[in-house]
Amino acid sequence: MTDPVSAYFDAINAEDWDTLAGLWEPDAELYPAGGRPRHGRDAIGAYYPRLLAGWAEHVDRPGRRITEAETVVVEIRFTGTTARGRPVAFDAVDLFDLAGPRIRRLSIWYDTAAVLRQVQGG
C-alpha cells in the first residue's frame, strides 16, 4: 500500500473521496482548524466534500515532513481560488497519527482568521 500521508494529499488534491475514505481507520479522529472534531470514517468522509465544495481550484503542496514512529508532521502550502474567483494562499501544519497503513488521527493547524480575511477579500 502507498504511504498513507502521500495518498491523503493525492486524494485531497484529486477530490478522490473513495480513496480518501479508505485511508482512515474505522474509528479515526479528525481535528480540523476552526472546526468541530469528526469521529469515525463516515463523518470524516462526509466532511471533505463539503469543505472543498466552495473552491474552484485547490492544491495542498506538502513540504517538509518530520516522522517519528507512527507520527508524521507535514508543513503544507495551500493555494486555491474560491468559487467567486478570489485567490487564497496560506501555510498549514498537519499532524498525522498512523496505525500501520491507515490514518488514526489527523490534527490540522492554520491561521483561520487570516484565511477568512482572504476568502472575504479583506
- Residues 9 and 62: beta-carbon distance below 8 Å: yes
For the question of whether the overall pTM of this predicted structure is more than 0.75, the answer is yes
pLDDT of residue 31: 98
Mean pLDDT by 10 residues, the chain (122 residues): 90 96 97 96 96 94 97 98 95 97 97 94 78
**Residues 28 and 104 sit within 8 Å (Cβ to Cβ):** yes
Domains in the chain, please, with CATH? 4-120 (3.10.450.50)
- E runs forming strands in 4-115: 24-31, 38-39, 55-68, 71-82, 87-99, 102-109
